[in-house]
Amino acid sequence: MNLTERLQRKLSENLPYEELVPAEQPIYVRSYVYLFGVLTLASFILLITTGVILAGFGPQWWHSSNVGHFFNSVHYWSAQAFFFFMVLHLWTTFFQGAWREGRAVTWASGVVIFLTSVLTAFTGYVSQQNFDGQWIAIQAKDALNSTGVGAFFDVLNFGQMYGFHVVILPAVVGLLITGHLFLVRLHGVVRPYPLAAGRILNAQGDAVPLVSEEAAQ
Amino acid sequence: MIARKKEYYRGIPTAPYDLVKELLVALGVVTILVVILSAVLSSPDEPPLTIKKIAQQDPVGFVQAALNELDGTSGIAGYGPPYNSSSGSVQNIGPISPQSWIGVHIPVNTAQDYVLGPLSQVSFTDVALATALSQYDKAPSAEQGKWTDAYNTALAKATVQGSAVSVPHCACGPVPVMMSSMLLLGQRGAMDGQLLASNQFYRTDYSRPLLFLADAGAVQSHAEDLHLLGTQWGVMNETGNYPGQAWMWLYTTLYQIWPFNVAPLATTAGDLAPMITISILSLLILLVPWIPGLNRLPRYIPVYRLIWKDYYGNQPPKGQERGDE
């Protein structure tokens, strides 16, 4: 069996297309809480779309064009929406203990996405070429210099920050989101915490055996 | 559903779920939301400060900043790595000082880069300036120091007439001529371009002009006017009452609270201590699944009951439930 065949077999065993894009879900997924993830993804799609338009016209376009300023505004509010929904997603998955039963890496990848997104937004802020960009860069340089990182990641260097913001970091966030979604589909959404010792209740009130929590952690 | 998941979800009913439709609806909702916010609230775009602007608005402040760069008393001249080998802004916690370990990587010679270099570029059109530069260059450093000290004292009594600065007569050698030329370079906008100039045709590195603006104090005072200072609870905000980087609230909070805002941390590790703290906190959140105790915390916080309220619709008979866990 060659490598391609092995990959085919692994995928068909663990993540066939009907699992990758499932048409049915456990009944408890019908909750508004589960929308925060997809709202984050939708905001990210908008961020990339408006970011491509802004980058296509160059970094100075939006300062002199009303249309450009509008696209910058959509990009700006998409970033606000992205973080708003992502933080809600992060907190609600925390309260679900969503890392249980083999999902620890899925959780960790989500936290890495959040931290990388903070860095991505930061490079956007210092690439604005306005007073906000000047102020944030001048303030931030001391923090980065104190850790030694500033010697290689120069927030006062527009070219470097712009490159990070429009190419490197969005690509990293995009890849991480892809991996995160892949893990979510691979493991499926975590079961609710049990209400009764050793049992979990389904929607009909039937007690269902639960894998021991110690084993699940 | 594959066998592994069937076993995992055994006993839990499933229902049809249209993920693609959900994504499309979410995309539509978010698009409408951000377009409305953009149309109504727009986005901030406060024009940048330029060296020309600050030289015109505050000529004495500009000359003072240039003098400080020349005599090596400016913030950047005494900053330390990664700009130079001074130590004024080097931070450490005990023996931990990554800033010192890394060393100089973005060299800035304030006297040469901000004063002598820009002046020498235009001295070929100005005989008096060329003579002054030559005199300054040939003088011993002690003599240069006497001139700049004397000019510093005289500058405190300077008056502004129009756009010019009138400094009382002093034994300042060539410094008055040099500073007058500096002010002209600044006010005409030449210095903005000169600080970007290099051997390369294209430039995208604004390190030197931004460091000069920071030294001039103009950025700080303009930020204060716009309520952007940390003490005004503005570090994460931006101009015009926009939310800014609200997701950095925890990091920026550290700067305002004990023990980060008092000596010794505030004086020796004002940025390093918050950076290390936020890194440790981030690592803790990342590693929650593997930290005993912390990984069971949500089980004891009843928020999950709200999240799965509908699912838990049929509560177990009293007595079977495990208390309020």
Mean pLDDT of B142-151: 97
Answer whether A138 sits within 8 Å of B48, measured CB to CB: no
Question: Whole-structure pTM over 0.90, yes or no?
Answer: yes
pLDDT tens for each residue of A39-71: 999 999 999 999 999 999 999 999 999 999 999
**CB < 8 Å to B213, chain A:** 134, 138
Instruction: Tell whether the model's pLDDT for residue A36 goes beyond 90.
Output: yes
Beta strands B14-16; A24-26: pairing state:
antiparallel
pLDDT category of residue A214 using cuts at 50, 70 and 90: very low
* The predicted structure's pLDDT at residue A197: 52
Query: B198 pLDDT band (50/70/90 cuts)?
Result: confident
Whether B55 and B186 have beta carbons less than 8 Å apart is answered as: yes
Looking at residue B76, what is its pLDDT?
Answer: 97
How many whole angstroms separate alpha carbon B247 and alpha carbon A203? 37
Residue with the larger pLDDT of the pair B314 and B228:
B228
pLDDT at A196: 58
Q: What is the chain A residue with the closest CA to B290?
A: A104
Judged by CB atoms closer than 8 Å, whether chains meet at B18 and A23 is answered as yes
What is the mean pLDDT of the segment spanning B2-13?
88
pLDDT at residue A207 greater than cutoff 70: no
Question: Which range, of A2-6, A13-17, B230-234, averages the lowest pLDDT?
Answer: B230-234
The mean per-residue pLDDT over the stretch B228-242 comes to: 77
Residue A206 has pLDDT above 60, yes or no: no
Q: Average pLDDT, whole number, for chain A?
A: 91
| Contact between chains at B223 and A33 (C-beta distance less than 8 A) | no
Predicted pLDDT of residue A153: 97
Average pLDDT over residues A148-173: 97
Mutation site for A-interface testing, chosen from B17, B96, B305 by largest number of A Cβ within 10 Å? B17
SS3 content of chain B, % helix, strand, coil (to 5): 55, 5, 40
CA distance B287 to B292: 10
Q: Does the N-terminal peptide bond of residue B82 adopt cis geometry, omega within 30 degrees of 0?
A: yes
pLDDT at residue B233, as a whole number: 65
Does B272 contact A78 at a Cβ distance shorter than 8 Å? Answer: no
pLDDT tens across B251-265, in order? 999 998 999 999 999
Q: Looking at CA atoms only, how far is residue B209 from chain A in angstroms?
A: 9
> Which pLDDT tens digit goes with each residue over B48-65?
999 999 999 999 999 999
Question: Taking 60 as the threshold, does the pLDDT of residue A2 lie above it?
Answer: yes
Burial of A168 (0-12, 13-18, 19+ CB in 10 A): middle
Residue A25 bridge partners (DSSP)? B15
CB contact under 8 A, B42 and A69: yes
Nearest to B100 by CA among B108, B109, B90: B90
The rounded mean pLDDT for chain B is 92
pLDDT value at B235 more than 80: no
> B322 and A197 in contact by Cβ < 8 A?
yes
Residues 177-216 of chain A with CB under 8 A from chain B are: 188, 191-193, 195-197, 200-209, 213
Averaged pLDDT, B305-309: 90
Contact B80, B108 (CB under 8 A): no
**Assembly ipTM:** 0.92
Instruction: Tell me which chain B residue has its CA closest to the CA of residue A88.
Output: B247
Q: Which residues pair with A157 in a beta bridge?
A: B205
Residues whose CB falls within 8 Å of the CB of residue B212, separated by 6 or more in sequence, listed in order: B51, B65, B69, B76, B114, B195
* Whether pLDDT at B322 is above 90: no
Report the pLDDT averaged over residues B219-234.
Answer: 84
